[in-house]
Structure 1
Amino acid sequence: MSRLHVVSGKGGTGKTTVAAALALALAEEGRRSLLVEVEGRQGIAQLFETEALPYEERKIAVAPGGGEVFALAIDAERALLDYLQMFYKLGGAGRALKKLGAIDFATTIAPGLRDVLLTGKACEAVRRKRKDGRPVYDHVVMDAPPTGRITRFLNVNDEVAGLARIGPIHNQAQAVMRVLKSPETAVHLVTLLEEMPVQETVDGVAELRAAGLPVGGIFINMVRPEILDEEALARAGGTERAAVAGALSRAGVGGARRGGRAERLVGPLLEQAGEHVERVRLESAQRKEIAGLGLPSRELELLSGGADLAGLYRLAKDIRKQGIPEAAA
């Protein structure tokens, strides 16, 4: 299985929720997963109903079967200080650079350096080993930037590698890209059954493939339950007012008299039925668009009570049941 799962999606599709549920799903049966946040929004802390995440790995949940989920909010400034200490042994000088504002200066003038630091931290967690040679984390899940920026975010390391031909920065960029473009990585996209998110997903998959980045699967989020079967949908689109009023009266809703409650309900009911039929048709068309990508897709239910902790566990169970998508060979 892939060990680094990068989760992206158009804003509003619930990518952070899906990333959190995926981390829970991967941690089942005694495994350990690390959930990484790179945008500084503290969305993970809110989902798991815990305090703001510091720049350190912290256990935030226990998965079914005794697995553990850790979380890390990566800060580019702190990551750069770690980087300077690791490769240049700056120590106190690095902290002095921070006070002088040199950190912001460095990440501004060096194209892609910020993203190298963010992705590099996640890749380091993937490569990290215990004393017995086993990985510290079985899986790392990254709550990544939105679909419109994901390819540049992941592929910017190539640009940095081109700018720095030798030295630690070059080596770091090359090491990161070896992980990101390997079978160890799968980039998943989250979408809704709506035209704009699906189109952005289609475009995102094309960009990722063109950049040689491994695409995993599509998570179709917030799927509403089916209310009517195919036969009922066909009838709903052409039902006459008199037939509906008669059915309501026979069911004991209102009376049969003209202008009664049953008759007054006909208009709103037919309007809702028409809207439902139209929505189902649009969703069917979007499913076909997604199927045309040739990628595994997983449908996750709409959480009526919102994305709380109990909802995360329900989504994780659903992901495990459907199977976790892998990147195509």
Structure 2
Amino acid sequence: MPPSAADLSGVSLHVVTGKGGTGKTTVAAALALALASHGRSVLLCEVEGRQGIARMFDVDPLPYAERRIASGLTGPEGRPGSVHALHIDPESALLEYLAMYYRLGRAGKALDRFGVVEFATTLAPGVRDVLLTGKVYEAAKKNRRGKDVRSYDAVVLDAPPTGRIAQFLGVNSELAGLARVGPIKHQADLVMKLFRSRRTAIHLVTVLEEMPVQETADGIAELRAAGLPVGAVVVNMVRPQDLGADQLAAARAGTLDAAALEADLRSVGVTDDDGLVPGLLAEAQDHAVRRALEDAQREVVDGLDVPAYELPRLPGGVDLGGLYELAEDLKDGGLA
């Protein structure tokens, strides 16, 4: 059995990763809402350039600036919570970095016009990750200063997929080893200090399928080897579990009582038109087979020695209302 609950006391940076198609952006957004429902100010960040957060909340594409996307979430004693969002792109992050640490000001914008920014981030792909994680670090700082700068109780990062999350978060460690002195060395050390501290938790999103679960297991091992803190596994899009073990076994074997099903339908005024009963039995068999596969993968997840939380598959897909439902599930489950 997995640990019953994640110890998230003191965590202010929640990193959400997962294999493509598992719904990591959905989980990151729901987690941000769940944290805000405690009356907290939360920043939801994305770094992959997909504008997934904007689509999730049905707002205009996000700029390189913090924008409020949810409010009116009331916590204890009526304290209002809110969610701001930030789309981080490496080019804007580089210009901000140059202005902050090298006082380039207008010269930095001139470099952008000459294409130096694009050249730098293309020539050394690792530079992109350094800039992106550096901006996340700045957002998560407790003592942020500057005009119109907000301080947040928590930051949720919709991070790159599991296959490269350890490299993405650990790139500053490599940079610190190359730079012996100066602002680059100092910044890289600070970023890694945060990422490896108890203030950070890395959550992995999966579905109950063999490849995503295996990638989750590999990701946990890689993160631990890099000294990065694993938070929880979120099992997303779980099918309903309304049928008991005996019913599932009969459905899987194709031995459900068709006559009894037809009688039940007639009792509520539904007739077996157009092969309704055979169709329902076929669907039941497919569901039972799928449930057996999911149960086998759930056992694998339980053996990962990481707290696990499950979110249901929403029949109509994830709209804004469904996002709030998932947030409530995470809150009730104790992840937020």
The answer as to 2:85 corresponding to 1:71 is yes
Which residue number corresponds to residue 287 of structure 1?
Answer: 298
The answer as to 2:56 corresponding to 1:47 is yes
Q: Secondary structure at the match of 2:86?
A: strand
Which residue number corresponds to residue 309 of structure 1?
Answer: 320
Unpaired stretches in structure 2, ≥5 consecutive residues: 1-8, 75-79
Q: Secondary structure at the match of 1:112?
A: helix
The answer as to 2:113 corresponding to 1:99 is yes
Distance in 1 between residues matched to 2:331 and 2:316, nearest whole Å: 21
Q: What displacement does 1:223 show?
A: 1.1
* % same residue: 58
Distance in 2 between residues matched to 1:264 and 1:58, nearest whole Å: 53
Q: Secondary structure at the match of 1:29?
A: coil
Q: Secondary structure at the match of 2:73?
A: coil
Q: How large is the RMSD of aligned CA atoms in angstroms? A: 2.2
Contact 1:15 1:143 in 2 (8 A): yes
Which residue number corresponds to residue 285 of structure 2?
Answer: 274
Within the candidate set 140, 148, 171, 2:155 is matched to 140
Q: What displacement does 1:271 show?
A: 3.0
213-222 or 22-31: which moved more? Answer: 22-31
Q: What displacement does 1:6 show?
A: 0.4
Contact 2:19 2:215 in 1 (8 A): yes
Which residue number corresponds to residue 240 of structure 2?
Answer: 225
Which residue number corresponds to residue 84 of structure 1?
Answer: 98
Contact 1:111 1:160 in 2 (8 A): no
198-207 or 60-69: which moved more? Answer: 60-69
Which residue number corresponds to residue 126 of structure 2?
Answer: 112
Distance in 2 between residues matched to 1:163 and 1:190, nearest whole Å: 33
Query: TM-score of the superposition, structure 1-length normalised?
Result: 0.90
Which residue number corresponds to residue 141 of structure 2?
Answer: 127
Distance in 2 between residues matched to 1:263 and 1:316, nearest whole Å: 40
Q: Which amino acid aligns with 1:315?
A: L
Distance in 1 between residues matched to 2:179 and 2:286, nearest whole Å: 57
312-321 or 110-119: which moved more? Answer: 110-119
From the superposition, tell whether residues 76 and 250 of structure 1 become closer, same or farther in structure 2 (CA, over 3 Å).
Answer: closer
Distance in 1 between residues matched to 2:274 and 2:117, nearest whole Å: 70
The answer as to 2:311 corresponding to 1:300 is yes
Deviation by residue 1:270-319 (Cα, 9 ceiling, x = unmatched): 43333222111111111111111111111111122222111111111110
From the superposition, tell whether residues 264 and 319 of structure 1 become closer, same or farther in structure 2 (CA, over 3 Å).
Answer: closer
Which residue number corresponds to residue 257 of structure 1?
Answer: none
Q: Which has the larger radius of gyration?
A: 1
Which residue number corresponds to residue 158 of structure 1?
Answer: 173
Which residue number corresponds to residue 260 of structure 2?
Answer: 247
Contact 1:249 1:262 in 2 (8 A): no
Q: Which amino acid aligns with 1:206?
A: A
Distance in 2 between residues matched to 1:35 and 1:173, nearest whole Å: 22
Q: Secondary structure at the match of 1:218?
A: strand
Contact 1:245 1:263 in 2 (8 A): no
Distance in 1 between residues matched to 2:134 and 2:140, nearest whole Å: 10
Which residue number corresponds to residue 4 of structure 2?
Answer: none
Distance in 1 between residues matched to 2:105 and 2:265, nearest whole Å: 80
Q: Which amino acid aligns with 2:28?
A: A
Distance in 1 between residues matched to 2:128 and 2:265, nearest whole Å: 66
Q: Secondary structure at the match of 1:67?
A: strand
Contact 1:112 1:159 in 2 (8 A): no
227-236 or 118-127: which moved more? Answer: 227-236
Q: What displacement does 1:113 show?
A: 1.8
How many matched pairs? Answer: 315
Q: What displacement does 1:253 show?
A: 4.8
Q: What displacement does 1:130 show?
A: 6.3
